[in-house]
């Protein structure tokens, strides 16, 4: 449906993004994930028509839209700030795109009320000024305004970043539900890995203006193709020093090249002195708990393994004071990067 071919966007001498080559399928929830300044919003704005690529082409359903103005693209955007028109009511905000298209008054009325109902905006709220709504309601208005024109693609630029943690999770779920209901192709930009993992069908991880990896959330998390992706997604332990200090134990790893080794913190097991059940791929180390962080239903412990301090998570509480524990690592779950 959407194709980026060798796209590069630069401002004067500064290249913001380069070598962009990817496709987004119809009905897909596709996320651009990356840290601030990595080029994800720049790419999104090029898709919407606010930035012009300095090289390459963008196609929508096989049609070259690279030079098409935003109003002719049928790609509607929900902005980070929502960009609601402050002098208009909720109704007028949602109806704006239809009025511009010169849709008949009765039809505007019907379509606005229909979408408002789906977005759980009441009749009363439709007559209010947007400034009188809560953050969550404003977000719904912004999405309704974009969806009411039946666009081919919906793009959302960090729409949850202005909200508090609880509302963010609630709206995240609503967003997913909405996307499934409307079946609309959605491009989502975020720097929040949790949002990306929970919402997306596929994720493109951006770094320094380039895409490092594209894949399903599971692929990205479990088989991070680069050291950056592995570090950026989830909690990770760098265990290079531990591996190099104990080469005789890590028999399945390639220790010849100057590689870096990582392991997700949840793949560490803690056992109580019984090592009889270890599989062939597992190796055990004795360590001392030196610190803990309490997170409610689980606790994160810092364990000194001699050559390296690592973190493990446990749902049961352990007395921190110089407690000795045995940590088991599965070699198959170790990620290695040259």
Backbone angles phi, psi at 249, to 5 degrees: -85, -35
Could you tell me which stretch among 33-41, 45-53, 187-195, 265-273 binds another protein (CB under 8 A)? 45-53
Backbone Cα Rg of the chain: 25
User: Contact with another protein (CB under 8 A): which of 67, 71, 235, 291?
Assistant: 71
Q: How far is the CB of 211 from another protein (least distance, A)?
A: 24
Strands (DSSP E) along the chain, which ranges?
A: 2-11, 14-24, 29-33, 55-60, 63-64, 75-78, 153-157, 185-190, 202-207, 210-215, 236-238, 260-264, 268-271, 282-294, 299-304, 309-314, 324-330, 335-337
Closest to another protein by CB, 101 vs 117, is 101
Q: Per CB under 8 A, does 49 bind another protein?
A: yes
Q: Is 261 in the site for another protein (CB under 8 A)?
A: no
Contact flag: residue 149 with another protein (CB under 8 A): yes
The piece of 144-152, 190-198, 264-272, 303-311 that touches another protein (CB under 8 A) is 144-152
| Count of residues touching another protein (by CB under 8 A) | 25
Span from 1-9, 34-42, 115-123, 141-149 in contact with another protein (CB under 8 A): 141-149
Using CB under 8 A as the criterion, what x/- string covers residues 91-130 for binding another protein?
Answer: -----xx--xx-----------------------------
Contact present, 90 and 82 (Cβ < 8 Å): no
Nearer to another protein, 79 or 298 (CB): 79
| Sequence-separated (6 or more) residues with CB below 8 Å from residue 283 | 246, 249, 250, 328, 329, 331
By beta-carbon proximity to another protein, the closer residue of 74 and 219 is 74
The length of the chain, given as a count of residues: 338
54 CA to centre of own chain: 26
Q: Pairing relation of β-strands 153-157 and 75-78?
A: parallel
Residues of this chain that interact with another protein (CB under 8 A) are: 48-50, 69-71, 75-77, 79-81, 83-88, 96-97, 100-101, 145-146, 149
């Amino acid at each position: 449906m959407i194709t980026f071919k060798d796209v590069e966007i630069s401002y004067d001498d500064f290249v913001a993004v380069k070598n962009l080559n990817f496709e987004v399928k119809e009905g897909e929830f596709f996320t651009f994930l990356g840290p601030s300044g990595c080029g994800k919003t720049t790419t999104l704005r090029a898709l919407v028509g606010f930035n012009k690529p300095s090289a390459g082409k963008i196609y929508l359903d096989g049609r070259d839209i690279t030079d098409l103005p935003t109003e002719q693209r049928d790609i509607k955007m929900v902005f980070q700030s929502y960009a609601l028109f402050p002098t208009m009511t909720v109704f007028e905000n949602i109806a704006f795109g239809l009025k511009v298209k010169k849709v008949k008054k009765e039809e505007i009325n019907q379509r606005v009320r229909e979408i408002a109902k789906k977005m759980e905006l009441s009749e009363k709220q439709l007559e209010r000024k947007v400034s009188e709504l809560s953050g969550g309601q404003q977000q719904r208005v912004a999405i309704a305004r974009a969806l009411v024109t039946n666009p081919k693609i919906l793009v959302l630029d960090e729409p949850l970043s202005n909200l508090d943690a609880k509302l963010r999770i609630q709206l995240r779920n609503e967003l997913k539900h909405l996307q499934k209901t409307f079946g609309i192709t959605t491009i989502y930009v975020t720097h929040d890995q949790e949002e990306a993992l929970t919402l997306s069908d596929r994720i493109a991880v951006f770094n320094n203006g380039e895409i490092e990896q594209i894949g399903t959330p599971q692929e990205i998390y479990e088989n991070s193709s680069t050291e950056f992706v592995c570090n950026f997604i989830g909690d990770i332990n760098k265990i290079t020093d531990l591996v190099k200090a104990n080469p005789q134990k890590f028999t399945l790893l390639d220790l010849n090249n100057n590689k870096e080794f990582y392991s997700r913190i949840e793949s560490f097991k803690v056992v109580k002195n019984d090592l009889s059940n270890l599989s062939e791929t597992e190796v055990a180390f004795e360590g001392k708990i030196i610190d803990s962080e309490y997170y409610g239903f689980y606790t994160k412990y810092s364990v000194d393994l001699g050559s390296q301090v690592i973190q493990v998570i446990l749902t049961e509480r352990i007395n921190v004071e110089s407690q000795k524990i045995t940590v088991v690592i599965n070699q198959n779950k170790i990620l290695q990067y040259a």
